[in-house]
Structure 1
Amino acid sequence: MLPTDFQPVSNRAAMRRQFLRGAGAAVASAVVIPRWASAQSGSASANAPIGPPSTVTQPPRDFSRRGAPTTYFTDPDVLTVDPAFDGLRQPNAPIQRLWTGALWSEGPAWSSVGRFLVWSDIPNNRQLRWSEDDGHVSEFRVPSNNSNGNTFDYQGRQLSCEHLTRRVVRYELDGSTTVLASNFNGKRLNSPNDVVPHPDGSYWFTDPPYGAQLYEGTVDAPGGPANKAGRLNPKLGQPPEIGSYQRELPTAVYRLDKSGALTQVAGEDLVPDPNGLCFSPDFKKLYVVSTGQGPGDTIAGGKGDMYVFDVGPNNTLSNGKLFNNFMIDGVKCGPDGVRSDVDGNLWCSSNAGRRVGYSGVTVWTPGGKLIGRIRLPEVCGNVCFGGPKRNRLFMAASQSLYAVYTATQGAAPG
């Protein structure tokens, strides 16, 4: 028999096909289904993933610009849990990663006049802007005072919650900046987190203590609750006026009247460590996320769930109750930011940690029923509706910005 190199072409081709068939069978028999595969199909496993892979779907999905386009009619990571969600998801609309390169993305807000999205990269002390016309991303405000939540009011003015300065500001149309709130009853706010506008001209915001850490703001002055031993220097790397604050207030939800009067509408006895918030489309209900224990807390802290309150004609909250504990398939999908669509459904960011396949967005009816999920390969911090028709959901997720078109619209600007 001739050596292989001298076999006739037809014989060599046959031998090669036989070899590949044998090799394929050997590989197939050696394939091990990863433990996190169950999370991709929406079912939980007692053995949750130890280390998250870089993709969610199977076959692996590449969100980068090098990745192949989505070839499915419906995106495989936009999941219908209840048929009610089918009317809200947009067929033939893929999840797109618009940009990556942040340290912790938060506070997306849509400018309907400028047709751009602004969001916070908190640890990098900057706000970023994504322009719809060409997809360009640029630094919008540097420094941003470690801003977290952003929104636009009914006059098109941007509102920002600043961790570093522990205040809420408004960027006026003439280019000036107005400090809206920095103190309550003569005491400094903790670190305003998220803010929403009301048609009556008021602004409602949450004030947990998460900005009292080096990564997202700065700690208390020595002796304060978030720096009791005084070993941390809050002045390092900061302007000279920063570093003298100490935590003075419990966590709370506030309403700032258009006249400038600040009122506490919910204390930490009702919502410990309040975070994201939004109104129902008719402004008769307020939804408030309650997250975990923050720096300097002397309370147990929130449990990663959300509460809903009735909003009275005198702007008081009543009948507070748990909206949902955000346990899905035995996995805690902790919310952070939340937005309502025009039908009152709640679109909530999801932090499931290493439970791959559960971070992203969860969608709920006004009655608290889960109807849909959007899976992202990163923990999602906050969401907003935007685009010219306000039918595109933008998702600020860890280091990246994602977007997907929907078949509904956001209920409010910003």
Structure 2
Amino acid sequence: MTPQEECDRDSALSRRRLVQGLAVCAGATVAAASGALAQNGPAAPPTTITTPPRDFGPNGAPTTYFWDPDIIAVDPSFNDLAQPNTAIKRLYTGLLWAEGPAWSAQGRYLLWSDIPNNRQMRWTEDDGRVSVFRTPSNNSNGNSFDFQGRQLSCEHLTRRVTRYEHDGTATVLADSYNGKKLNSPNDVVAHPDGSYWFTDPPYGGQLYEGEPDVAGGPSNAGGKLNPRIGQPAGFTPGKRELPTNCYRIDPSGRIDLVVTEEQVPDPNGLCFSPDFKKLYIASTGKGPGDTGPGGKGEIFVADVGTDNKLSNFKRFSDCMVDGVKCGPDGLRCDVQGNLWASSNAGRAVGYSGVTVWTPEGKLIGRIRLPEVCGNVCFGGPKRNRLFMAASQSLYAVYTATQGAGPG
């Protein structure tokens, strides 16, 4: 065999090995994808989401995929909302329970709550720096910004909704209804008419996220917990007195009951559709002191009338995905009207993160995170970045759409 013939043979063998290697890789990829699509139940711990295991830490290798492997198009229409060539990034970790992300368009920073640590955190867009924004925060949970750029916060410890004015003062918007103290306001959204709508479940009535009731109260029936421990002198603990309702704060200051516990038990996250003609409300699990059945991890929707009355209540979704309950918490709509909901799938690895639904209630996409996700919001200079407050960390990913409404 001549040298030229040997060279041609070696070249052919190299090409054959390359093709065979690519075929094996492609087959493995297809098999993995088929397995993921065919999965009918939760992955058993300690299974990781991606293979090989993905390091979300600041020193972890960047994703090398054109489409992030943890952004899943359940329906092809999601490809128009998901942004290619961008990766999910963990921006910060070291929290106890991250909640209530809200974007300040004027300040170009993200604000969120670290409830058990009794503080609010801030991530600045220009340099990615994270700092403590407000401490103590009265165990604040949900945050938002109104149409005037003022911060709104739901406080567990003080059982109230607070607005921070431009001059630095704080205004208590609501702390009671019909003379009875609120439970623990959870999430709040602004309406163009100047009103604020908020949910009032009982989750702040526990040691970890606020304070238990006084002895004999629903969340401290045995009286063995001391709600004064760790609080400043003169602190007066409260007692659960109201059902888990939703309220509207009128621009005049009047507080109206808009959703009863019978309609949506244990209401949590809420948001308006882009045209403010629909209100979405997440109904989460049974809370401390609940005597009824409690929420079942569902999302409800109702029509908003010109008189601010709600009608046509219906279940929007039971949040079951592949037989797994992806319990909703925080909610946000994009400008197309799609609903982005945080997902708490408990121990079902690979199902916590975000679920995305059309206005008709069809699941079209998922974002998988290695932690339970509590709440989401759109932000960034173009409002096209989804921020996800998830357990001990803050995550973000760019999208091909924009969030609707402020905050």
Same fold (TM over 0.5): yes
**CA-CA distance at 1:251 after TM superposition:** 0.5
Counterpart of 1:61 (choices 42, 48, 54) is 54
Query: In the alignment, what sits opposite 2:366?
Result: 373
Structure 1 residues 241 and 297: alpha-carbon distance in aligned structure 2, compared to 1, 3 A threshold:
farther
**CA-CA distance at 1:317 after TM superposition:** 0.6
**CA-CA distance at 1:65 after TM superposition:** 1.7
Structure 2 stretches of 5 or more lacking a match? Answer: 1-31
Higher mean C-alpha deviation, range 55-64 or range 392-401: 55-64
Contact 1:44-1:330 at 8 Å conserved across structures? no
Does residue 51 of structure 1 match 2:40?
no
Which amino acid in 2 is paired with 1:357?
A: G
CA distance in 1, matches of 2:76, 2:395: 24
Does residue 158 of structure 1 match 2:151?
yes
**CA-CA distance at 1:59 after TM superposition:** 1.5
Which amino acid in 1 is paired with 2:293?
A: A
Contact 1:99-1:400 at 8 Å conserved across structures? yes
Which amino acid in 1 is paired with 2:88?
A: I
Residues 227-261 of structure 1: CA distance to partner in whole angstroms, max 9, x if unpaired?
Answer: 11111100000123434311100010000011100
SS in 2 for 1:335: strand
Does residue 328 of structure 1 match 2:336?
no
Which amino acid in 2 is paired with 1:393?
A: L
Counterpart of 2:331 (choices 327, 338, 352) is 338
Counterpart of 2:302 (choices 297, 303, 309) is 309
Query: In the alignment, what sits opposite 1:359?
Result: 352
Residues 336-362 of structure 1: CA distance to partner in whole angstroms, max 9, x if unpaired?
Answer: 000000010000000011111110000
SS in 2 for 1:374: strand
Query: In the alignment, what sits opposite 1:283?
Result: 276
Contact 2:211-2:237 at 8 Å conserved across structures? no
CA distance in 2, matches of 1:42, 1:377: 19
SS in 2 for 1:255: strand
Does residue 81 of structure 1 match 2:68?
no
Structure 1 residues 189 and 40: alpha-carbon distance in aligned structure 2, compared to 1, 3 A threshold:
farther
Alignment map for 1:217-236 (pairs within 5 Å): 217-236=210-229
CA distance in 1, matches of 2:97, 2:352: 15
Which amino acid in 2 is paired with 1:369?
A: K
CA distance in 1, matches of 2:105, 2:309: 30
Higher mean C-alpha deviation, range 58-67 or range 341-350: 58-67
Query: In the alignment, what sits opposite 2:24?
Result: none
Query: In the alignment, what sits opposite 2:84?
Result: 91
**CA-CA distance at 1:49 after TM superposition:** 4.1
Which amino acid in 2 is paired with 1:384?
A: C
Residues 195-228 of structure 1: CA distance to partner in whole angstroms, max 9, x if unpaired?
Answer: 0000000000000000000000000011111111
Contact 1:360-1:373 at 8 Å conserved across structures? yes
SS in 1 for 2:218: coil
Counterpart of 1:294 (choices 273, 278, 287) is 287
Alignment map for 1:199-218 (pairs within 5 Å): 199-218=192-211
**CA-CA distance at 1:58 after TM superposition:** 1.1
**CA-CA distance at 1:280 after TM superposition:** 0.4
Higher mean C-alpha deviation, range 384-393 or range 238-247: 238-247
Query: In the alignment, what sits opposite 2:241?
Result: 248
**CA-CA distance at 1:45 after TM superposition:** 4.5
Contact 2:44-2:349 at 8 Å conserved across structures? no
Which amino acid in 1 is paired with 2:248?
A: R
**CA-CA distance at 1:364 after TM superposition:** 0.3
CA distance in 1, matches of 2:375, 2:37: 22
Contact 2:344-2:373 at 8 Å conserved across structures? yes
Query: In the alignment, what sits opposite 1:41?
Result: 36
Which amino acid in 1 is paired with 2:401?
A: T
Which amino acid in 2 is paired with 1:93?
A: T
Which amino acid in 2 is paired with 1:383?
A: V
CA distance in 2, matches of 1:40, 1:137: 39
Which amino acid in 2 is paired with 1:191?
A: S
CA distance in 2, matches of 1:42, 1:124: 39
Counterpart of 1:390 (choices 376, 379, 383) is 383
CA distance in 2, matches of 1:265, 1:212: 22
CA distance in 1, matches of 2:271, 2:67: 29
Query: In the alignment, what sits opposite 1:21?
Result: none
CA distance in 2, matches of 1:248, 1:40: 49
Query: In the alignment, what sits opposite 2:9?
Result: none
CA distance in 1, matches of 2:35, 2:381: 32
RMSD: 1.5
**CA-CA distance at 1:84 after TM superposition:** 1.0
Identity of aligned residues (%): 71
Query: In the alignment, what sits opposite 1:121?
Result: 114
CA distance in 1, matches of 2:57, 2:282: 32
CA distance in 1, matches of 2:211, 2:238: 9
SS in 2 for 1:336: strand
CA distance in 1, matches of 2:198, 2:174: 10
Structure 1 residues 165 and 42: alpha-carbon distance in aligned structure 2, compared to 1, 3 A threshold:
farther
SS in 2 for 1:226: helix
Which amino acid in 2 is paired with 1:257?
A: D
Higher mean C-alpha deviation, range 58-67 or range 150-159: 58-67
Query: In the alignment, what sits opposite 1:105?
Result: 98
* TM-score w.r.t. length of structure 1: 0.89
Contact 1:117-1:130 at 8 Å conserved across structures? yes
Which amino acid in 2 is paired with 1:273?
A: D
Number of residue pairs the alignment of both structures matches? 377
**CA-CA distance at 1:42 after TM superposition:** 4.3
